[in-house]
Structure 1
Amino acid sequence: MGKKGILLVNLGTPDSPSTADVRKYLDEFLMDERVIDINAIGRTLLVKGIIVPFRGPKSAKIYKEIWTDAGSPLLINGNKVHEEITKKLGDDYMVELAMRYQTPSIPDALERFKQAKVDSIKVVPLFPQYASASTGSVHQLVMEIVSKWQAIPPISFVNSYYDHPGMIKVFADNARKHLDQKWDHILFSFHGIPQRQMRKADVSGEHCLKVENCCSVLTENNKYCYSAQCHQTARLISDELGLKKEDFTICYQSRLGNDPWMKPYTSDILKELAAKGAKRLLVLCPAFVSDCLETLYEISFEYQEEFVELGGEKIQLVESLNDNPAWIDALEDIILNK
């Protein structure tokens, strides 16, 4: 009997922090029809004519701030997780790590499964909450590739694990390391997506942004809603930490463009808290299983600088799951039982 193939997929990273490589990464990322979900001509003009040429050099400078001698933190942590989960699963499994954009690539990983004649393939996106622009994009690309194979082995997909007890506990335990200090407020800052993508995910057309507090409670109507899953993740972590509702705020970062995105924006919450006299904030980012540009730079540098300018003092980032052994245990359970 052959092995079972396990494909771990994260978003992606440039091959280097050079402007050329960052532009190449941004081009592939932003040209994805699920990421910028407008007509193809408009997307091409926007991405290739405006965003990539002008954002590339700026993003390259930011990537240089977090780059290490060993490379991108996202890929470094990904390789560590790949190594540890391979050991844990044992010889019956073949584990590949891929990025949705750039390298290591999904097509190459799938080709290795094909050549190894694996008995089955399970795709595990490294995004706890489902979103069309992340998990959906991974699933679509895998299906497009294998649809061209003559012999297609059994394939399964993990949709989400926003409420997995093991994952929740690791985030909570990481936060506990900082709770011996005094914090004026705690933020759960998730990666944002455009509101139009949230509405598209509502097949009923009657719930998203039409029902008051439509994302605050997970229901049958919004079970595939990214924002509703984010709320549930934050609620479970806050319960694990024994927080009260007034102790924390759920917000969204990384907005791109002028269209309305999920609210409240993290930057707006910083302004509100600073105006109320808050000086010290603890920030968790449970949409990311690995520390990356959005945590190491956007939270720890950009928001820290913004908060100080508003009169605050300290933003403390809670580290992500990275290669925490307890996360490896949780990931094993997700792979075997989801």
Structure 2
Amino acid sequence: MNSLFDSVRVGRHVLRNRLVMAPMTRSRAQFDGTPGELAAEYYAQRADIGLIVTEGTQPSDDGQGYLTTPGIYTDAHVAGWKEVTSAVREKGGHLFIQLMHAGRMSHPDNTPHHRQGVAPSAISPGTGMFTPTGTQEIPVPRALSTNEIRQTVQDFRHAARRAIEAGADGVEIHGANAYLVQQFFAPSANMRTDDYGGSIENRARFAIEVATAIASEIGAERTAIRLSPGTTMWGIDEGAEGPDLYRFLVAELDKLGLAYVHIMHQGNEVLLSDIRKLWTRALILNRPGRPLERVGSDLASGLADLESYGQMVLANPDFVARLTANSTMNEANRTTFFGGDARGYTDYPHLHDPADAWRYPLC
């Protein structure tokens, strides 16, 4: 039986353990999308974990959704990420940059060009978003033309190349959480009648084209994807055909030889089991809200090769050491999740810092 602390090969890399830092938006980048001055320290603090997947990083101006999220398509972005990847590598860690195009989950006030968001179809998600002037309703997006979809695929390709130039070990395509890739999956967001809408095969086409383009650019062994089958947030409804779409999609992506698939599990155990059978390489599993006592359970059962964790890693830079010592964990301070300074970002106490333990309650 594999242990959480056993090494594992993922793509071209051998990871020191089977624990993964899940991608988490922190909104601390500079306004031009360059990673913030504390980003290198933040990620390096957590480099003992087997694999770090960074916060969602936009591949283009159109891809930005939230305020002060990082990009990876300009020289300044590359220079900023080089500081991060170098700091992680010095600690012996591995890092994949997550490429996230927000699609309709965007507001013009948050983007560098102040343009209307783009999506498969002109359908609003029906929710608000924080902007420089407070929370505003997200406007109806503009439907991408077929040529613009092809250009967006090339934007992903370009961003992947720039990520490797910045020293990343690979990239993870964000195909989850109601952003652009998943918007193509869902009939509630995709009412197209061309090659990118209608049938299961058509709605999966964009994701497959993005993965194919990136794999051809940087190598399949440095390309991965995150999926969240069954997500219903922000107006996403994949319908009765949703599970079959994912069975088709995973089987097609498996043919590309990608490094891993990262599943954010929403509770359909039958589908998860089918994905496990269809996928022949590393499978990372994230169960939102997993209690500490269940850490390692999916690895032990054989459902996953690695397990990913968000808030527990955010609040515990020494997450691996705490697990090894069977220690208590710091509790995440939700008021500092997005934006701000070092507080709730790089100042969480380590296991052997009793003088700092007052800062946050222990769970």
TM-score when scaled to structure 1? 0.32
The answer to which structure, 1 or 2, has the higher relative contact order (CA under 8 A, 6+ apart) is 1
